[in-house]
Structure formats: C-alpha cells, structure tokens
C-alpha cells in the first residue's frame, strides 16, 4: 500500500483521481475522521496492491528500480514502457507488491474494558493477531492470583483463531510492586503455589501460554527472576505451554534504575520462548512532551537486544496511542492526556492545526491552543511512524511485534500491517 501525506489545497477528490480509487474507499479504509476538513500533514493509506511512484526530475528507470528492488526490465514491462530512456517527470509508475515476511503478532488487551468493547475490538483486529495478551492476573502477596473476568476476551480470541496468553503481573493498587516479586522469588513454597495456580487457570480457561510482566524488580532480584523463569519453563513447556516475558527497553547490560536492573536480557533470553520488549513510553503522561516511541531510540534498544537475545525470540513493542500535553510542562504538574491516533487527527482538524513530522524520531506532532488560551503539544503515531517500525522489524529479522494497548483506534496500522507481513496463525492443541 501507499502512504500519502496531505498538502495544502488537497482534497479527497483530487487524491482519489491521482490513485484511481474512489473517495468512499479512501474514507472507509482509513476511517477518515475529517473527510471534509483534511489537515495538512495528515496521512492517508491508499488501499491498493503494490504502490505508485511518480517520476521526479533526474530519476531514471534504473534508479527507480533500484529503489524498490525490481529489475528495470520488469518495471518497464509492467508499466508498458517501450523506451526506458524516455520516462518523464510526473509519469505514474506501478510498483508491484514485494514478498512479505512471516511474523508473529500480539496485542495486549486491558480487562478494564467492558465485555462488549473487548469482544468488539478483538473481533475487529483478530485476523491480524497471532496472540492476544490478556492483561492481567495480578499476583497477591500470599502467592495466589487475583481472579479476573476474562471470558469475553477469551471467547472473542477463540472465534478469531487468536491464541490467548495469560499475563501475570506484580501489579497492586495501580503500580508495580518490587516487594511482591521479592516475596515470591525468595520463597520456594510461594513459587510452587503461584505456578500451580497459573497452570490451573491455563488448563481451565484454554490459555496457550503465560507472559510474565514483572516490572521494577531491582538489582536484588536479577538472578532470582531468571531462576524463577527456569522453574516456570520446566513446569509448563512439557505440557505445550509457551513462556514469554515483558522486558524493559534497555540500552546496555549495566543500565541503572530499578526498572532495568532486574531484567538480564541474555539470561532471560536463554530460558524463555520469546520476549516482548517494551519499546515505548519515552514520551509518557508524567514526563515532558516527546514522541512515545521515537524510532532512533527504538533502534538503539534493538541494537542491544539482538546482541543479547536471538532475533527470532524478540517481539518489538508498538504503541497504539499518543499524548496531549498542556504547556508549559512542569514536573509533578498536570499529566498529559492519552489519545488514539484517530482522535489526534480529529483534534488537529477541530483546532485548525497542521500536523508536522519529526524526521529524526519519525513521529508526527502538532501544537494548538485550547479554549482557555493554554498551548498544547501532541505527539502520536501515524502511517509513517508505524511503517518505520515495521521496517525495523524486517531489518533486524525479529520474531514479530506486539501492540500496547487495544482500545485505541488506529485503522491505518492494520492496513499497513497486513500489507507488510504474513501473520502467522497457529492451531496449538494443549495437553
């Protein structure tokens, strides 16, 4: 597919003529929230097989063919060009779709969503997912799990051939607790109690595996966590269950901070089936305005990750949201408001803001003033930013990618995901 960026004076009729597709199809595919008020800098995905290239001054058939990995002869044949030396600027060339790699995909779903909304979302995006990570089963201090109502999400996953994954956390009262993990890791009896209950839930409810999202462990739990994971793998793998782990986005083995020090990339990668690396939240609701997942920072994390963990065990995280900060930013002040990519575009249209694009981070953003005269800064994801992340998955040859978190509308993502990759769908009978 092709990504088109709105320019001054553009409208859907002009764009549809340019690409030989109806305005209605563009609106439907992208679910354009502002079809009669397009925003400069807004992206539209052109839902066609392959893409078009408009010849620029100085380009040749050879340079264009090199750009897309196709021979000049094949490009000339497809486009009916008799003399390759006579192509002119403005000529529209059709570029066929390239081969798509096979990958695994996953998305986390928060059980705070209503049953109806959970079913609606999973039914909509299920065709694009291998796994549905159900967030979450919190660990209690006595080694048991807090029960949750996950039946709606599980039924929707089953209906769409998506493998449900049980997410276990050290989450309590709105935050991750180091002391809960420490209590489990230092008591064999509590470990046995916890693992037995996880197994019981997986067997009863039809989960395909467990994802340990244990965060803020601290240096003291670094080796303990690996030993616990080995115990879990030894118990679950023979029964056909996969064990995965959510990892903080590290840049080095000795990175400081309670979030990072408890995650030993190399040791954990050797034990578990795969890892989910949380490559997002550089820009977060309590911090200063910046991209949520800047590609330059994500690349640095991936550079380190593949030096420690086999690439075919790595799932790279992608956010399905952005943030709206009120300026000036004050540490400890008002937190930024989360919003979906769709809502961000609708907001830009509403306030008359042009969408800008930061090339270094490959992220869109804009500014506006609210009705009280306060200036705002919004960073979010669009077709360009998510395509840059897909390209990174291909570049590093990763196992796949996952999303945090379902419930934020981003139709362009699913269009491009399906265009870039073949999604692996597994039927895995459990013993």
Catalytic residue among 179, 215, 220, 297: 215
Separation in Å, CA 419 to CA 27, 47, 99, 296: 18, 9, 10, 24
Instruction: For residues 116 and 104, give the distance between their C-alpha atoms in angstroms, rounded to a whole number.
Output: 26
Q: Residue 209 contacts by C-beta under 8 Å, 6 or more apart in sequence?
A: 163, 165, 166, 202, 236, 241, 242, 243, 244, 273
Q: What are phi and psi of 3, to 5 degrees?
A: -105, 125
Where would I find the beta strands (DSSP E) of 251-389?
Answer: 274-277, 314-319, 322-326, 337-339, 356-358, 363-369, 375-379
Work out whether the CA dihedral 66, 74, 103, 107 comes out positive or negative: positive
The residue to which tokens 């994971």 are assigned = 229
Q: What is the DSSP string of 134-173?
A: EEEEEBPTTS-B-----HHHHHHHHHTT-EEEEEEE-EET
At residue 51, the 3 state secondary structure works out as strand
At residue 357, the 3 state secondary structure works out as strand
Residue 69 · residue 93 · CB < 8 Å: no
Instruction: For residues 197 and 209, give the distance between their C-alpha atoms in angstroms, rounded to a whole number.
Output: 13
215 is catalytic: yes
Catalytic residues: 215
């Amino acid at each position: 597919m092709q990504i088109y960026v709105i320019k001054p004076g553009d409208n859907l009729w002009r764009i549809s003529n340019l690409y030989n597709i109806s305005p209605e199809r563009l609106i439907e595919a992208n679910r354009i929230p502002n079809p009669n008020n397009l925003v400069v800098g807004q992206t539209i995905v052109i839902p066609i097989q392959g893409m078009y290239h408009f010849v620029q001054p100085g380009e040749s058939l050879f340079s264009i063919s090199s750009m897309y990995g196709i021979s000049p002869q094949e490009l000339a044949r497809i486009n009916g060009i008799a003399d390759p030396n006579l192509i002119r600027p403005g000529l529209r060339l059709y570029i066929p779709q390239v081969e798509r790699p096979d990958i695994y995909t996953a998305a986390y779903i928060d059980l705070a969503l209503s049953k109806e909304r959970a079913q609606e979302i999973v039914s909509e995006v299920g065709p694009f997912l291998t796994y549905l990570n159900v967030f979450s089963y919190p660990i209690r201090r006595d080694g048991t799990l807090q029960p949750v109502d996950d039946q709606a999400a599980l039924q929707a996953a089953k209906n769409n051939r998506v493998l449900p994954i049980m997410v276990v956390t050290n989450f309590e009262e709105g935050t991750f607790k180091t002391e809960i993990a420490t209590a489990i890791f230092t008591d064999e009896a509590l470990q046995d109690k916890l693992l037995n209950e996880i197994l019981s839930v997986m067997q009863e409810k039809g989960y395909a595996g467990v994802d340990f999202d244990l965060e803020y462990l601290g240096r003291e739990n670094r080796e303990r966590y690996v030993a616990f994971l080995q115990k879990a793998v030894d118990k679950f793998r023979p029964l056909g269950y996969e064990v995965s782990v959510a990892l903080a986005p590290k840049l080095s083995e000795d990175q400081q901070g309670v979030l990072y020090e408890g995650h030993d990339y190399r040791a954990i990668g050797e034990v578990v089936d795969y890892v989910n690396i949380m490559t997002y939240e550089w820009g977060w609701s309590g911090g200063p305005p910046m991209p949520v997942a800047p590609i330059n920072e994500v690349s640095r994390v991936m550079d380190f990750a593949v030096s420690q963990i086999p690439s075919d065990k790595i799932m790279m995280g992608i956010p399905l949201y952005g943030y709206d900060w009120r300026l000036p930013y004050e540490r400890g002040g008002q937190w930024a408001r989360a919003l979906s990519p769709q809502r961000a575009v609708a907001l830009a249209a509403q306030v008359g803001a042009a969408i800008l694009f930061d090339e270094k981070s490959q992220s869109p953003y804009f500014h506006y003033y609210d009705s009280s005269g306060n200036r705002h800064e919004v960073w979010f994801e669009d077709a360009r930013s998510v395509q840059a992340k897909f390209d990174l998955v291909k570049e590093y040859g990763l196992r796949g990618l996952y999303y945090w978190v379902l419930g934020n509308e981003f139709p362009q993502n699913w269009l491009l995901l399906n265009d870039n990759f073949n999604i692996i769908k597994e039927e895995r009978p459990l013993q």
